[in-house]
Structure formats: C-alpha cells, structure tokens
C-alpha cells in the first residue's frame, strides 16, 4: 500500500521450539484504526513487542513512516513517532499523574535535552502546561495532583494513554487498553480511543470484541503466529477460516 | 521510591550544619584537640566519596562494587601530579576528576550492557584489574603506593596546615552536594531516577536510557576521583588499598547505613561509620563486631538508612 505508515514484511521469530511469529505481513495505513485480534497465545503481544522494538525478529523487516526501522532501538522508534501503551499498567506509581505526563513531554526531542543538571524541572512551566493539556485530553484533568498509584485501574489506563500521547506519536500501539477495566470504564475508554483516532493512527490489540468492531476500520487476525486474515470488519466477521480458528460463537 | 524533593527544613539544617563545620577547626583548637581536624577532613572526604557512590547507586539504581577504582585513581592522579611537579590544586583536582571520570565512562560503557548481579561482578572485576595494575607497576610504587611529600597548594594558598586542607575539603564537598541536590530536581536527575524505577517505560517514552545511566555513572566516578585526590593529599600518599574491593565495600556500607537514594545518605553514613571506627577502636580492638551489630540493626529497624529517619523526603 502506497500510504502505509507501518509496513511489516515476512516477520518471523522463534522462541526455543515455538514459532511465535511466522512470516507475518501486516500494514497500517495512515489515519486508520487497525485492530489485531486472535486467541490467547496467538502472538499478539509478541508482535507488538517487535513493532515497538522491545524484541528483534529472526527475519523479516519493519518499515515505519517510509523508513527502515527493523534495527532501530525502542527509544529511536518512539522518537520516530511510534508510541505504545502496555497491557499491564506501567506508570510511575510514586509520582503524581502530572509528573508522569511531564516526564513523557520532557522525553520528546522538541522539548530539548534532558542533560540539564541545574534548573529544577518544577520551574519549567511549559512542560507542565503541556502535560495538563494531555491529561485533560484523556479526561484526567482533575486528577493531575494525585499520585498515579492512587488512581483507579481505569484512570491508570487513561494515564498510560496520556503518556503515550505526550510523545506526540504518528502511530499509537495500544496493547489491550480495555484489559481489566469494568464495563463503565471500558465504555469511556472506547469513547476516548474514538476521539483520539481523529488525530492519530492506531494499532489496537484487544480482546473486547464489541470494542474492536466499534473502533476498527480494518481487522487482522493472528492465530498461532500466522496472520490468517486482514479485512474490513464485515469481511472478517464472515471469514470462514476466522470463524473456525477463533471467533466461533463470539459473533 | 518517589523522586527527590528537598524537605522544608533542609535549608535551615544545611545552614546550621555548615556554620558548625566552618567553626569546627577553631573549636577543636580551643579544646586543644586539633588532632581531630585531620580526622574531620577524612570524614568530609569519605562523605564526598560515599555521596558520589550514592549518586550512582541511590539515584541511578546501579549497584556498583567497583567504585573504589575511581576513588583510588583520583589519589594516584594526585600523587603522579606531585611527582611531575604539578602542585596547584586548581589543576590537580580537575585533572583527578577528569581522569577518574573518563575511566568511569569506559568502565560504564562496557558494564552497563549488563544488569543485576552481572553488573556487580563486572564492576568488581574492573576495579580489581585496576588494583592489580597499580600494585604490579613499579613506576607507580607497586605495593607501597606513591608518596606525596608535600601537599599541593590551592590557588596559591598553602594547604600545609590541616585547617587549610579541611576548608578545601569542606568547600569541595559543599559544592558537590549542591550539584547533587540541584541535579536531583533538574531534568537529568528526574530522568535517572525514573530510569531507576522503570527502565523499559523510559525507553518507551523515547529516552536513550543507556546514555543517561552512563553519564550518571561517569559523574559519580569523577566526584570519587576528586575525593581520592583530596585523601591522597591528606594522608600524604596514594595507596593501592584505596583501589581494593574492600574499599568499594566500605563506601557501599556507608551509603547503606546513611540511606540509599537519600541526598544526605552518603554523608550521614560516612560520618556514622568513621566516628564509630574512631571511637570504638579506642575501646576495643574488635570494633567490627559492633559495626556488624549496627548494620544488622539498621537493616532490621531502619532499612532505608539513617537519613530516612529524618522526615519523609527522599530521592
């Protein structure tokens, strides 16, 4: 595809005797919400780890924003415009929500070097003003001063998202943003992602099928490390192989 | 652990302590105890060395068992400078910091590719290699170390009087503590503290984690070198013992007693340990037994160190 933001070609990775990923071809078009689904153990998180740079493939290539990214480290990919949220909430629990996001803003190349040894961060109004804006964007505007560890699970997930957004990504990798949230929080998260999708391309890994079919422009299905189908939600819903392999009576 | 924030009473406590430390040599002279000026200088120097390890260990989260290498190299730089006829502290001290810092940069560049117990072992290995290098080199005095027959000057002022060296050590310590306090609240300090808490998350926020750890490690090494150069001038020699792993262990014990990751942890630990050594040793030879009991007590009752007992602020 000409305007693919993320292009993964023939990606393979083996762990000991397990073929975790087998020749996965996958692309995300700029502007879309592309959901990746599959049964537990299909290799979805492994795939995200490869895209984000936490793991290196045995073979295959990853192109991001028109640039070869296969061998870029995680922080280089983030700087190139790829941000991720974690399946397990991964925030700095001992810091306030605001400090968490300010840290993310500070890490951005356009925020300047962090090799500064003298001036207190607290005096850097700009970092915190921006951080507040990102917190408001995810609906945590009134929780800025609270310790991240004291936020509810759903709020921590939203904070995680605010931190990813603060890196100003072109592509957002969301690894099960709904995991462990109650129905109400889930609904709020769906709304939030819908809202974000207007500004940023999203690769969404999620088990909640209602959320997936509501949010996704396209869906890919990963089973046992192989990508068995990519298509519009309706096509995937009808696909016989997908039904057999995975969805069954979910749909 | 949360990021470092200064306690409200910190400025007051620092002002009072500093005033007392400035008055100390006068006081000791008045009490006819000026012998202790040299001892107090030693405490200040070890406070500096332990604080530099605390930067690496407490703030950077890197458990290094090779910190003595940088400490000892600073001492040898001072001795080599003396040998080469360089007697100006304004030259000797920055040189010691530079050489120790560059060596730390090299050691860090290799060691920081490992984690956990491997990092401990590899820093230890580097320090032991340095130790053996110095004891096997006749140019650097081998087992005997290198003498410094006459103390360096500082900005033209003589340091021959113990009081003068004391004030130099106090000044250097105060400046370094100021730097440590500032960096802990500045971008750099917050970055390394966040890396200590969650390295992967920081990578995922776009931080080149390795670079920050390396600079933190090298900065700690440079300050340790500074302390080593001061110590060599105090004792009149650069001894290979300063490079040995037991020395790294002593610095580590100081930081643990004082409080890992607390701004004043290294300083408090150095004061406590050296005071104990000085006064317990006078009473009975096996003072290490008392030290062992103290360590056990601290780990059981104040696991975050003595500094942690004073308020909730931490780094």
- ipTM value: 0.92
Q: Is the pLDDT of residue A105 over 90?
A: yes
- Write the burial class of residue B308 (CB in 10 Å: 0-12 exposed, 13-18 middle, 19+ buried): buried
Backbone dihedral angles phi then psi of residue B158, each to the nearest 5 degrees:
-75, 145
Which residues of chain A make contact with B208, given a CB cutoff of 8 A? Answer: 73, 75
The pLDDT of B216-239, averaged and rounded, is 98
Work out the widest C-alpha separation in chain A, in whole angstroms.
Answer: 63
Min Cα–Cα distance to chain A from B191, Å = 7
pLDDT at residue number B208: 97
Q: How many domains does chain A have?
A: 2
Which band of pLDDT confidence, cut at 50, 70 and 90, is reported for residue A248? low
Q: Is the pLDDT of residue A247 over 60?
A: no
Distances, alpha carbon B71 to alpha carbons A39, A69, B46, in Å: 56, 42, 10
A232 three-class SS: coil
The arrangement of strands across the sheet holding A82-85 comes to A82-85, A171-175, A201-205, A33-37, A218-223, A226-231
pLDDT at residue number B119: 97
CB pairs under 8 A between A and B: 90
Range of the domain at A178: 1-81+170-251
Report the b/e string of A76-112 with b at 16+ CB within 10 A.
Answer: ebbbbbbbbbbbebbbbbbbbbbbbbbbbbbbbeebe
pLDDT at residue number A246: 67
More confident residue, A248 or A185: A185
B-contacting residues in A 4-23 (Cβ below 8 Å)? none
The pLDDT of B55-83, averaged and rounded, is 97
The CA distance from B244 to B240, in Å, is 7
More confident residue, B8 or B165: B165
The CA distance from B75 to B230, in Å, is 7
* A99–B3 CB contact, under 8 Å: yes
The CA distance from B11 to B156, in Å, is 32
Q: Is the pLDDT of residue A96 over 70?
A: yes
Q: What is the pLDDT of residues B51-64, one digit of tens each?
A: 999 999 999 999 99
Which residues of chain B make contact with A74, given a CB cutoff of 8 A? Answer: 203-204
* A121–B194 CB contact, under 8 Å: no
Q: What is the pLDDT of residues A38-65, one digit of tens each?
A: 988 889 999 999 999 999 999 999 999 9
Which band of pLDDT confidence, cut at 50, 70 and 90, is reported for residue B281? confident
* A118–B183 CB contact, under 8 Å: yes
Which residues of chain A make contact with B182, given a CB cutoff of 8 A? Answer: 117-118, 120
pLDDT at residue number B71: 98
Which band of pLDDT confidence, cut at 50, 70 and 90, is reported for residue B49? very high
**Residue A95's closest chain B neighbor by CA?**
B2
The CA distance from A209 to B292, in Å, is 60
**Tokens 């390890």 label which residue?**
B53
**Residue A109's closest chain B neighbor by CA?**
B206
Q: Is the pLDDT of residue B227 over 50?
A: yes
User: Which two tokens mark B196?
Assistant: 């200590």
pLDDT at residue number B314: 45
Cross-strand pairs, B14: none
* B201–A120 CB contact, under 8 Å: no
In the DSSP assignment, the letter for residue B143 is G
Q: Tell me, yes or no, if A230 comes closer than 8 A to chain B by beta carbon.
A: no
Q: What is the pLDDT of residues B90-146, one digit of tens each?
A: 999 999 999 999 999 999 999 999 999 999 999 999 999 999 999 999 899 999 999
A175 and A251 in a single domain? The answer is yes
**Annotated domain spans of chain B:** 10-248
The CA distance from A152 to A165, in Å, is 20
The pLDDT of A219-223, averaged and rounded, is 94
Cross-strand pairs, A221: A37, A229
**Residue A104's closest chain B neighbor by CA?**
B205
Q: Is the pLDDT of residue A1 over 80?
A: no
The CA distance from B98 to A188, in Å, is 55
Q: Is the pLDDT of residue B285 over 80?
A: no
A136-140, A244-248, B124-128, B303-307: lowest mean pLDDT where?
A244-248
Contact B132, B240 (CB under 8 A): no
Last-in-domain residue among A122, A153, A168: A168
pLDDT at residue number B79: 98
- pTM metric for this prediction: 0.94
* B190–A78 CB contact, under 8 Å: no
Q: Tell me, yes or no, if A118 comes closer than 8 A to chain B by beta carbon.
A: yes
Q: Is the pLDDT of residue A222 over 90?
A: yes
* A94–B197 CB contact, under 8 Å: yes
CA B25 to chain centre: 22
Cross-strand pairs, B237: B147
Last-in-domain residue among A134, A153, A168: A168
The pLDDT of B189-206, averaged and rounded, is 96
- In angstroms, how far is the first alpha carbon of chain B from the final one? 7
A184 and A249 in a single domain? The answer is yes
Min Cα–Cα distance to chain A from B12, Å = 20
Which residues of chain A make contact with B212, given a CB cutoff of 8 A? Answer: 114-115
* A90–B189 CB contact, under 8 Å: no
A64 and A183 in a single domain? The answer is yes
Q: What is the pLDDT of residues B149-190, one digit of tens each?
A: 999 999 999 999 999 999 999 999 999 999 999 999 999 999
A137 and A19 in a single domain? The answer is no
Output the CA angle B269-B271-B275, nearest 5 degrees: 120
A77 and A195 in a single domain? The answer is yes
A124 and A192 in a single domain? The answer is no
The pLDDT of B199-221, averaged and rounded, is 97
Give B33-42 contacts, CB < 8 A, sequence gap 24+. Answer: B34/B162, B34/B163, B37/B162, B37/B163, B37/B166, B38/B162, B38/B166, B38/B234, B39/B274, B39/B278, B40/B166, B41/B162, B41/B165, B41/B166, B41/B169, B41/B230, B41/B234, B42/B231, B42/B234, B42/B274
pLDDT at residue number A49: 95
Q: Tell me, yes or no, if A92 comes closer than 8 A to chain B by beta carbon.
A: yes
User: Which two tokens mark A225?
Assistant: 């490390």
The CA distance from A152 to A94, in Å, is 14
The CA distance from B140 to B133, in Å, is 9
The pLDDT of B221-248, averaged and rounded, is 97
Q: Is the pLDDT of residue A242 over 90?
A: no
**Residue B315's closest chain A neighbor by CA?**
A94
Q: Is the pLDDT of residue B313 over 60?
A: no
Query: What average pLDDT does the structure give for chain B?
Result: 93
Q: Is the pLDDT of residue A250 over 60?
A: no
User: Which two tokens mark B55?
Assistant: 């930067």
User: Which two tokens mark A48?
Assistant: 């995200």
Contact B162, B38 (CB under 8 A): yes
Q: What is the pLDDT of residues A7-34, one digit of tens each?
A: 999 999 999 888 899 999 999 999 999 9
The pLDDT of A188-213, averaged and rounded, is 94
Name every residue in B having a CB less than 8 A away from some CB of A. Answer: 1-3, 179, 182-183, 185-191, 194, 197-198, 200-209, 212, 215
Which band of pLDDT confidence, cut at 50, 70 and 90, is reported for residue B8? confident
User: Which two tokens mark A158?
Assistant: 């939203």
Strands A82-85 and A171-175, sheet pairing: parallel
Cross-strand pairs, A50: none
CATH number for the domain spanning A196: value is 3.40.50.300
Contact A3, A27 (CB under 8 A): no
Last-in-domain residue among A129, A150, A168: A168
- Write the burial class of residue B204 (CB in 10 Å: 0-12 exposed, 13-18 middle, 19+ buried): buried
pLDDT at residue number B311: 56
Which band of pLDDT confidence, cut at 50, 70 and 90, is reported for residue A251? very low
Rg (CA), chain A: 18
Of B179, B183, B187, the CB nearest to A106: B187
Q: Tell me, yes or no, if A104 comes closer than 8 A to chain B by beta carbon.
A: yes
B-contacting residues in A 160-199 (Cβ below 8 Å)? 163, 167
pLDDT at residue number A181: 85
């Amino acid at each position: 595809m000409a305007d693919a933001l993320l292009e993964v070609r023939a990606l393979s990775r083996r762990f000991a005797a397990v073929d975790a990923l087998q020749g996965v071809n996958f692309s995300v078009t700029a502007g879309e919400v592309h959901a990746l689904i599959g049964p537990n153990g299909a290799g979805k998180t492994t795939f995200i780890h490869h895209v984000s740079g936490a793991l290196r493939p045995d073979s295959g290539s990853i192109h991001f924003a028109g640039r070869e990214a296969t061998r870029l480290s995680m922080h280089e990919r983030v700087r190139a415009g790829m941000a991720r949220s974690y399946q397990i909430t991964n925030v700095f629990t001992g810091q306030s929500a605001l400090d968490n996001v300010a840290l993310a803003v500070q890490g951005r190349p356009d925020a300047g070097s962090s090799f500064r040894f003298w001036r207190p961060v607290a005096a850097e109004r700009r970092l915190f003003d921006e951080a507040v804006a990102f917190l408001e964007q995810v609906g945590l505007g009134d929780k800025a001063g609270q310790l991240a560890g004291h936020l509810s699970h759903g709020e921590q997930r939203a904070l995680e998202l605010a931190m990813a957004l603060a890196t100003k990504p072109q592509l957002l990798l969301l690894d099960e943003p709904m995991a462990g949230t109650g129905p109400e929080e889930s609904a709020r998260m769906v709304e939030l992602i819908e809202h974000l999708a207007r500004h940023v391309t999203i690769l969404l890994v999620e088990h909640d099928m209602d959320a997936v079919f509501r949010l996704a422009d396209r869906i890919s299905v990963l089973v046992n490390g192989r990508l068995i189908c990519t298509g519009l939600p309706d096509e995937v819903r009808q696909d016989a192989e997908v039904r057999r392999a995975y969805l069954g009576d979910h749909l | 652990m949360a990021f470092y924030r200064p306690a409200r009473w910190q400025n007051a406590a620092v002002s009072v302590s500093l005033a007392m430390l400035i008055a100390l040599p006068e006081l000791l002279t008045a009490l006819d105890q000026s012998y202790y000026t040299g001892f107090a200088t030693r405490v200040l120097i070890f406070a500096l060395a332990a604080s530099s390890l605390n930067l690496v260990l407490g703030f950077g989260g890197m458990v290094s068992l090779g910190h003595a290498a940088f400490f000892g190299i600073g001492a040898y730089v001072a001795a080599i400078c003396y040998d080469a006829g360089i007697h100006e502290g304004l030259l000797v001290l920055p040189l010691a910091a530079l050489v120790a810092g560059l060596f730390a940069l090299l050691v860090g560049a290799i060691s920081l590719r490992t984690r956990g117990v491997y990092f401990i072992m590899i820093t230890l290995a580097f320090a032991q290699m340095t130790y053996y290098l110095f004891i096997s080199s006749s140019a650097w005095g081998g087992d005997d170390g290198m003498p410094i027959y006459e103390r360096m000057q500082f900005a033209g002022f003589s340091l021959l009087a113990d009081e003068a060296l004391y004030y130099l050590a106090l000044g250097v310590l105060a400046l370094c503590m100021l730097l440590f306090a500032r960096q802990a609240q500045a971008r750099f300090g917050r970055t390394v503290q966040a890396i200590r808490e969650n390295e992967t998350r920081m990578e995922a926020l776009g931080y080149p984690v390795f670079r920050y750890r390396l600079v933190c490690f090298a900065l700690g090494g440079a300050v340790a070198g500074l302390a080593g150069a001061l110590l060599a001038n105090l004792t009149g020699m650069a001894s290979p013992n300063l490079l040995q792993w037991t020395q790294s262990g002593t610095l580590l014990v100081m930081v643990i007693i004082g409080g890992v990751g607390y701004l004043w942890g290294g300083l408090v630990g150095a004061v406590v340990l050296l005071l104990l050594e000085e006064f317990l040793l006078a009473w009975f030879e096996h003072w290490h037994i008392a030290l062992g009991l103290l360590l056990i007590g601290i780990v059981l009752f104040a696991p975050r160190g003595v500094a942690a007992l004073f308020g909730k602020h931490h780094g």
